[in-house]
Amino acid sequence: MRTERQPPPSVQAYLEGWLRRSRSPAYLLVSAGGIVAGAGGDLERYGLEGLDEGAPAAQAVYLLEGLFPLDDSFVLFRVETPAGRFADVHLFCAEEMDCVLFLDSTQEVAERAEVEEALHRILESLQRETDNALALPRAMAVVQDIGERRRAEEALRQSQSKFQAVFENSRDAIGALSAANHALVNPAYLRMFGYTHEAELLGTPFLDVIAPEYRESVREQARRRFSTADLTAAYETKGLRRDGSIFDLDVLVSRYECDDETYTLVILRDITDRKATEAKLIHDALHDSLTDLPNRALFLDRLQQALNRLPRRRSAGLAVLFVDIDRFKLVNDSLGHHVGDYVLVTIARRLTSALRSADTVARLGGDEFVVLLEDLAASEEAFRVAERLQQELGRPVRWHDHEVFVTASIGIALAGAATSRPDELLRAADIAMYRAKRKGLARYEIFTPEMQADALSRLQLESDLHRALERGEIDVYLQPIVSVADGLVAGFEALARWRHPQRGLVLPDEFIPVAEETGLITPLGDAILRRACEWAARLPAASPVSVAVNCSVQQLNSAGFADRLGQILAETGLAPARLRLEITESGIMSNAEAGLMMLRTLRLLDVRFHLDDFGLGYSSMSYLHRFPIDGLKIHQSFIGPSEVSPEHQKIVRTILNLGRDLGMVTIAEGVETPAHLEWLRAAGCDYAQGFLIAPPLPPDDARALLAS
């Protein structure tokens, strides 16, 4: 075969031919070890003019694209030289010189094909002639090696530049510690701790940037990591800035090896904001947003802890005080919620300042507050605290020109040996508080087991009352009011009666407070008002007596009351001048300014107002004369029981004088004996009402009384 073919031209000869044909070629001769053994051609073009023989070929060219074997003996690939020039490379291998890289950037495709063709031919013959089977793979391995090195270097360069970018621009502080001292810190690290130059930190201990009281725990962290060979750890601690300020810090540490040395990488984050948010969330979950007092959950928790401590402090007692503001709804309804809120905040402040700092005051919601008293030497101490709180709350709350008066009813529950559950104790105090309310507000009661049963029946009453209205169980009785001068019936007072299906007749003193608390008082009061007006309108024309209807302040302040009142008058046909609305003195005076507005509006309808239970409340004299009030009803306690006592005589006389001076009629309630009536006549009282004349009567009986 050899004789049939042309003898192979030497590589040297081929090179010369190729150089002639190519426009800007260069070549490198590369030994089997990847070392440049020679170079020639237009080396300048590729930035290779300074290339030394003996330099690694990888310094001269970097493989950009993989090897493209054109066939098993010839490869074409693309390289980049250090000067950033690109070149296509033809690889040719020969035994003597292992391989030749032909650099060629301008070769036309057709020309290249020609060259390739030529190369191919040369290679073929070379292989055949010189059994160069080993040379080619070796050469290819060299080139591959060059490529891989280049790729690895590139990856390293990229990751280094990535790391550098992260390191420089990170908002987290990043530092490397060598033997627990700063060896490297990024700009964020300097900013975080208030330094300006790296040099200020490098070489200093890491613990220097940790708040002194946290250093031991950080040291402990490091020790633990070291002993467990854990490479990474995360913890929270406090940082120390250069100016001495302290802040919350999140720390992430990991260990790494570099140049046979162990470093600790620390990544630090300022978590002051996160900590503050967390703390606020926790605070909000356990506190009332309006007053910032502890809420029910926190109170129950503290109560539980106090109960747990109780057995250990044998001599000391514990009490829960349930404080409920009396008729608070009135403040809200008449002055608006912003005033209501202001009053609640004031109450919260007063409660807190009236107690020891160890005691807990919490707001359960609405107008309900609870107090936890610990270390009580005797239960009397709890009573004294209750009295003190009531005194504190009794002071008027000033809101611009208004003075809001509130009182509180307080229920006290003492933790006995058997009491252990916080919720039970709280409920007991709640029940006692209700008892205090029912006994007439502004007082305190201590829980007794009997109250429990009572509370249950009261709960029953509440649900029964809802149905009573629908089922028409509420009746209106009428009690005559006579003129003291001539004994003639001048009018009637309508009084509510409840025919309870199981309990029989229930009196208003029992169910009106329940109706007021549940808000049922408005529909109930409206129904009674309508019935009373109807009854009075149907009386014979010859007896145009008045009818007085008790009106709760809540009903009076309910939305649209004036309209409903006008409608009732129009529909029943009762002349408005014959209607008197009885409003309790304490109710209207608890919020005099709003009451004044309300009464003036209603007065336009031509109805009259009487102040009920006069003498029990604290009327502000300056208001009294501005109120469109037509009459004062003297509370029965000033009249009874048998005679008007000398000291009550003075009070009643004062009221009678006041009524006269202000042009108001006076009506005495609770007139039970002829002596009462006699005294009232002598004293100059206008009207009298009481058992002496007649008890409250069913409607027909009352009408009959008129006819007689």
Q: Which helix (H) or strand (E) holds 345?
A: helix 337-354
Taking the complex as a whole, how short is the minimal distance between the CB of residue 352 and ligand C2E, in angstroms?
36
Q: Are 532 and 551 in contact (CB under 8 A)?
A: no
DSSP secondary structure code for residue 371 in this structure? E
Taking the complex as a whole, how short is the minimal distance between the CB of residue 406 and ligand C2E, in angstroms?
21
From the list Mg ion, ligand C2E, none, which binds 165 (C-beta under 5 to 8 Å, kind-based)? Answer: none
Among positions 640-699, residues that touch Mg ion (CB under 5 A) are 669
From the list Mg ion, ligand C2E, none, which binds 696 (C-beta under 5 to 8 Å, kind-based)? Answer: ligand C2E
Q: Which is nearer to Mg ion, 341 or 630 (CB)?
A: 630
Around Cβ 19, how many Cβ atoms within 10 Å?
15
Q: Are 307 and 392 in contact (CB under 8 A)?
A: no
Among positions 402-461, residues that touch Mg ion (CB under 5 A) are none
Taking the complex as a whole, how short is the minimal distance between the CB of residue 634 and Mg ion, in angstroms?
8
Residue 373 and residue 379: Cα distance in Å, rounded?
A: 10
Considering only the stretches 307-315, 575-583, 615-623, 656-664, report the one whose residues sit in contact with Mg ion under the rule CB under 5 A: 575-583
DSSP secondary structure code for residue 360 in this structure? E
Q: Which is nearer to ligand C2E, 333 or 582 (CB)?
A: 582
From the list ligand C2E, Mg ion, none, which binds 257 (C-beta under 5 to 8 Å, kind-based)? Answer: none
One-letter amino acid for residue 66 of the chain: G
From the list ligand C2E, Mg ion, none, which binds 672 (C-beta under 5 to 8 Å, kind-based)? Answer: ligand C2E
From the list ligand C2E, Mg ion, none, which binds 552 (C-beta under 5 to 8 Å, kind-based)? Answer: ligand C2E
Report the Cα–Cα distance between both ends of the chain, in Å, rounded: 159
Residue 656 and residue 651: Cα distance in Å, rounded?
A: 9
Considering only the stretches 63-71, 300-308, 416-424, 581-589, report the one whose residues sit in contact with Mg ion under the rule CB under 5 A: 581-589
Q: Which is nearer to Mg ion, 549 or 565 (CB)?
A: 549
List 270, 445, 526, 582, residue binding Mg ion (CB under 5 A): 582
Q: Which is nearer to ligand C2E, 164 or 642 (CB)?
A: 642
Three-state secondary-structure class, residue 312: helix
Q: Where are the beta strands (DSSP E) in 186-330?
A: 232-240, 246-258, 261-270, 317-325
Q: Which is nearer to Mg ion, 374 or 585 (CB)?
A: 585
Binding site for ligand C2E (CB under 6 A): 479, 495-496, 507-509, 512, 525, 528, 550-552, 582, 612-613, 636, 669-672, 689-691, 696
Taking the complex as a whole, how short is the minimal distance between the CB of residue 642 and ligand C2E, in angstroms?
12
Taking the complex as a whole, how short is the minimal distance between the CB of residue 669 and ligand C2E, in angstroms?
5
Taking the complex as a whole, how short is the minimal distance between the CB of residue 450 and ligand C2E, in angstroms?
24
Taking the complex as a whole, how short is the minimal distance between the CB of residue 561 and ligand C2E, in angstroms?
13
Taking the complex as a whole, how short is the minimal distance between the CB of residue 698 and ligand C2E, in angstroms?
13
Around Cβ 597, how many Cβ atoms within 10 Å?
12
From the list ligand C2E, Mg ion, none, which binds 690 (C-beta under 5 to 8 Å, kind-based)? Answer: ligand C2E
From the list Mg ion, ligand C2E, none, which binds 670 (C-beta under 5 to 8 Å, kind-based)? Answer: ligand C2E
From the list Mg ion, ligand C2E, none, which binds 490 (C-beta under 5 to 8 Å, kind-based)? Answer: none
Q: Which is nearer to ligand C2E, 508 or 566 (CB)?
A: 508
Half-sphere exposure (CA, 13 Å, Cβ side) for 188? Answer: 16
Around Cβ 460, how many Cβ atoms within 10 Å?
12
From the list ligand C2E, Mg ion, none, which binds 181 (C-beta under 5 to 8 Å, kind-based)? Answer: none
Indicate the length of the chain as a whole number.
Answer: 708
From the list ligand C2E, Mg ion, none, which binds 422 (C-beta under 5 to 8 Å, kind-based)? Answer: none
Residue 559 and residue 557: Cα distance in Å, rounded?
A: 6
Phi/psi at 142 (5° precision): -60, -45
Phi/psi at 538 (5° precision): -90, 5
404: which strand partners? 397
Q: Which is nearer to ligand C2E, 32 or 683 (CB)?
A: 683
Q: Which is nearer to ligand C2E, 550 or 591 (CB)?
A: 550
Burial level of 58, CB count in 10 A (0-12/13-18/19+)?
A: buried
Taking the complex as a whole, how short is the minimal distance between the CB of residue 445 and ligand C2E, in angstroms?
21
Q: Which is nearer to Mg ion, 464 or 612 (CB)?
A: 612
547: which strand partners? 492, 579
Residue 487 and residue 383: Cα distance in Å, rounded?
A: 49
646: which strand partners? none
Q: Are 25 and 104 in contact (CB under 8 A)?
A: yes
Q: Which helix (H) or strand (E) holds 550?
A: strand 546-550
CA distances from 559 to 195, 333, 440, 562, 641 (A): 66, 9, 27, 8, 40
Taking the complex as a whole, how short is the minimal distance between the CB of residue 636 and ligand C2E, in angstroms?
5
From the list Mg ion, ligand C2E, none, which binds 496 (C-beta under 5 to 8 Å, kind-based)? Answer: ligand C2E
One-letter amino acid for residue 244 of the chain: G
Taking the complex as a whole, how short is the minimal distance between the CB of residue 529 and ligand C2E, in angstroms?
8
One-letter amino acid for residue 49 of the chain: E
Q: Which is nearer to Mg ion, 186 or 689 (CB)?
A: 689
Produce one character per residue of 138-157: b if its CB has 16 or more CB atoms within 10 Å, e if not.
bbbebbebbbeebeeeeeee
Structure tokens, 117: 């063709």
Q: Is 550 in the site for Mg ion (CB under 5 A)?
A: yes
Taking the complex as a whole, how short is the minimal distance between the CB of residue 497 and ligand C2E, in angstroms?
7
Q: Which is nearer to Mg ion, 372 or 664 (CB)?
A: 664
One-letter amino acid for residue 401 of the chain: D
Taking the complex as a whole, how short is the minimal distance between the CB of residue 446 and ligand C2E, in angstroms?
27
Residue 595 and residue 600: Cα distance in Å, rounded?
A: 8
Burial level of 672, CB count in 10 A (0-12/13-18/19+)?
A: middle
Q: Which is nearer to ligand C2E, 355 or 680 (CB)?
A: 680
Q: Is 613 in the site for Mg ion (CB under 5 A)?
A: yes
Q: Which is nearer to ligand C2E, 291 or 522 (CB)?
A: 522
List 422, 612, 632, 665, residue binding Mg ion (CB under 5 A): 612
Residue 612 and residue 667: Cα distance in Å, rounded?
A: 9
Taking the complex as a whole, how short is the minimal distance between the CB of residue 641 and ligand C2E, in angstroms?
8
Structure tokens, 369: 């507050």
Task: Show the CA angle centred on residue 151, arms to residues 147 and 157, nearest 5°.
Answer: 145
Total interface residues for Mg ion by CB under 5 A: 5
User: Residue with CB nearest ligand C2E?
Assistant: 690
Closest CA to 372 of 313, 436, 415, 432: 415
From the list Mg ion, ligand C2E, none, which binds 98 (C-beta under 5 to 8 Å, kind-based)? Answer: none
Q: Which is nearer to ligand C2E, 234 or 507 (CB)?
A: 507
Taking the complex as a whole, how short is the minimal distance between the CB of residue 539 and Mg ion, in angstroms?
20
Q: Which is nearer to Mg ion, 427 or 497 (CB)?
A: 497
- Residues near Mg ion (CB under 5 A) are 550, 582, 612-613, 669
